[in-house]
Amino acid sequence: MPPNLRLIIIFFFFFFVLASRARAIGVNWGTMASHPLPPPKVVELLKSNDINKVKLFDADPLVLQALSGSNLGVTIGIPNAMLRSLNSSKKAAESWVHDNVTRYISNGGSGVRIEYVFCPLPPPPPPNFVFLLLFANGFVSITDIASLVLVIGFFLVVLGYGNEARVPEIIPASFDNLWACICAFMLHFMRVKLNFRYAAAFFLRLFFLPKREVDDPWQFCILYVAVGDEPFLQSYGEQFKPFVIGAAINIQTALVRANLDSKVKVVVPCSFDAFLSESNLPSKGHFRADLNKTMIQLLTFLNKHSSPFFVTISPFLSLQQNKNISLDFTLFKETAKAHNDSHRTYKNSFDLSYDTLVAALSTVGFSKMDIVVSQIGWPTDGAANANSSIAETFLKGFMKHLHSKMGTPLRPHNPPVETYIFSLLDEDQRSIATGNFERHWGLFTFDGQAKYHVDFGQGLKTLVNAQNVEYLSSKWCVVNNNIDLSNATASALQACNNADCTALSPGGSCSNISWPGNISYAFNSFYQQHDQSADSCDFGGLGLITTVDPSVGKCRFPVELRTSHSDCLHSNAFVLPLMTFLMATILVSFPKLM
């Protein structure tokens, strides 16, 4: 092949890959639920709605296993509770990186690392059998029969295991990537050959090394490690702040030692109250006085390693806390009264908050710092102005603003590098210290049912709900109207202290149901969270189990999810691959057979 043509092919490959991956919008996936939707169901939900980036708040192995094979870009979080130990111990940081990063995107440096399996295409002559794979060291065409047999064996592994094993469904995921197939076809002409020894080495690692070394590698892209979850939140005081920078440095050092620092960036998600402007003028924006020194250290660290600044922007909280901001201004309405800052005009709350941060960054010498909006959303219950209709209006306006690429007055035509919607699902175990709305940020209800429409790339199609969701029995706990209810209120308060009654809050979806309907809601919430056990609907004889749905209007009396942590492996998943490996060994041992 002429050298120039080879360069052109390589150029087009990278162009197509980058183009196919250029998605700037993802979601936050939190798991603080009493009965969480099973992670494989959540991954299906993400993929069916064209959401290809997800930000996690921890490194739950069940979640990471479910993400394997998804081809999603993932941000893995480190909980605030771990910051102290990661700050004080480099060994703890190395252990965390090994357990939660290295094992998922690297095989330890030996053998062959597969990132994607491209779909097979009819090859032009002269090669007789060609399967195109993307290996860590380059593109390869398999042209010898022994290696071909091994590749077929690998396909059988994939089909045998499905989502429940160490090698998830890479192939179906790769079939969705049309650009990958096109690039694979072009790269066939590069004629880079793979010999049997390397293919065999890959298979040997896959089956005979300890599981920890090969558990779920190669299957998704870890983009960032988020050190802490808004550790600078003002209400935390000094609880986490002293440990953030040290923990970030130690995680960075561990990534360097694992040769992953060029692939995975360390970031620190900052809260919406880390910056402010007393005059409500973005140009006067600055960081909190108690944070200034720490923030300069953080920004210096981020700038050194080319990491972006992660920040929460919350138009909903701005609306609640600032009397000078109207609902229309927050919802990107054209009729909203504009805010002026010198010669700059602000037509929405997002631009106002974003430029306040831009000014704060400039004040400390980092005016060019890339910004990622790590959390932005609108709750749908638990407070006034928290409902699905307003949330849909906000997100439609926000998405339109992002897609316009107009940027903001201080950063024209320069929108956020990435944006993560908060959040994917409702979580009934989230803290309600900020407000009862905190448990209702989801685009989807706790069971994966869409609340409204938002365009993640699917156009006019509605959001796809979670499929085949398993619920507990269709039973509810309500108040028994046939007995004395004089003590019912006290029992309801006790139930709400141990369950989720935030929908009963003023402005909530169940705030208008009358007594004793609100008592029944409290009883049922407690009953569902305790897996519908008969004892949990007693309340001193006040409770009654019914099979008639007591939901009224928009007030939904939920039935919780059936959760199971049992895993099932296909008993014969190893048989076909092992037989295939033996066949390949025979073929190599007796070349005349080939």
- DSSP annotation string for 44-79: HHHHHTT--EEEESS--HHHHHHHTTS--EEEEEE-
Q: Is 410 among the domain residues? A: yes
- 125 or 91: which carries more pLDDT confidence? 91
- 222 or 285: which carries more pLDDT confidence? 285
Q: Is 15 among the domain residues? A: yes
The answer to whether residues 104 and 149 belong to one domain is no
Q: What pLDDT, on a 0 to 100 scale, did the predictor assign at position 369?
A: 98
The answer to whether residues 12 and 46 belong to one domain is yes
The answer to whether residues 291 and 228 belong to one domain is yes
**CATH number assigned to the domain comprising residue 78:** 3.20.20.80
Tell whether the torsion through CA atoms of 47, 51, 57 and 59 is positive or negative: positive
The answer to whether residues 141 and 259 belong to one domain is no
Summarize the confidence of residues 218-230 as an average pLDDT: 86
> Has residue 172 got a pLDDT over 70?
no
The answer to whether residues 222 and 363 belong to one domain is yes
Give the residue numbers marked as catalytic. Answer: 230
Q: What pLDDT, on a 0 to 100 scale, did the predictor assign at position 458?
A: 65
Q: Is 358 among the domain residues? A: yes
The answer to whether residues 296 and 379 belong to one domain is yes
The answer to whether residues 25 and 171 belong to one domain is no
Give the single-character DSSP code of 454. -
> Has residue 16 got a pLDDT over 50?
no
The set of residues, in sequence order, having a beta carbon less than 8 Å from that of 460 and lying 6+ positions away, is: none
The answer to whether residues 224 and 335 belong to one domain is yes
Q: What pLDDT, on a 0 to 100 scale, did the predictor assign at position 105?
A: 79
> Has residue 166 got a pLDDT over 80?
no
Strand order of the sheet with strand 138-141?
114-117, 132-135, 138-141
The answer to whether residues 17 and 90 belong to one domain is yes
Q: Is the pTM of this model over 0.95?
A: no
Q: Is 552 among the domain residues? A: no
Q: What pLDDT, on a 0 to 100 scale, did the predictor assign at position 583?
A: 52
Return the closest-CA partner of residue 267 out of 223, 224, 233. Answer: 224
Summarize the confidence of residues 336-357 as an average pLDDT: 97
**pLDDT tens digits, residue range 186-195?**
444 443 344 4
Angstrom CA distances, 107 to 157, 164, 437, stand at: 18, 20, 43
Q: Is 463 among the domain residues? A: no
The answer to whether residues 380 and 481 belong to one domain is no
Q: What pLDDT, on a 0 to 100 scale, did the predictor assign at position 195?
A: 43
Among the candidates 393, 413, 439, a domain finishes at 439
> Has residue 398 got a pLDDT over 70?
yes
Phi, psi (deg, nearest 5) at residue 465 = -75, 160
The answer to whether residues 330 and 435 belong to one domain is yes
Q: Cα(457)–Cα(461) distance, rounded to whole angstroms?
A: 9
- The tokens describing 481, both together, are 């109207």
**pLDDT tens digits, residue range 27-66?**
999 999 999 999 999 999 999 999 999 999 999 999 999 9
Q: What pLDDT, on a 0 to 100 scale, did the predictor assign at position 204?
A: 45
Write out the residue range of the structural domain in which residue 141 sits: 114-195+569-593
Q: What pLDDT, on a 0 to 100 scale, did the predictor assign at position 159?
A: 44
- 389 or 205: which carries more pLDDT confidence? 389
Among the candidates 411, 439, 467, a domain finishes at 439
**pLDDT tens digits, residue range 17-33?**
444 333 479 999 999 99
> Has residue 411 got a pLDDT over 80?
yes
Q: Cα(287)–Cα(26) distance, rounded to whole angstroms?
A: 26
Categorize the per-residue pLDDT at 478 as very low, low, confident or very high, splitting at 50, 70 and 90.
very high
> Has residue 225 got a pLDDT over 90?
yes
Structurally, how many domains does the chain consist of? 3
- 537 or 207: which carries more pLDDT confidence? 537
Q: Is 578 among the domain residues? A: yes
- The tokens describing 189, both together, are 């002409």
The answer to whether residues 11 and 78 belong to one domain is yes
Burial label for 125, CB within 10 Å (0-12, 13-18, 19+), is exposed
pLDDT above 90: percentage of residues in the chain: 67
Summarize the confidence of residues 397-407 as an average pLDDT: 94
> How many other β-carbons are positioned within 10 Å of the β-carbon of residue 372?
23
Q: Is 561 among the domain residues? A: no
Q: Is 209 among the domain residues? A: no
**pLDDT tens digits, residue range 111-127?**
212 122 222 223 333 33
Summarize the confidence of residues 100-114 as an average pLDDT: 55
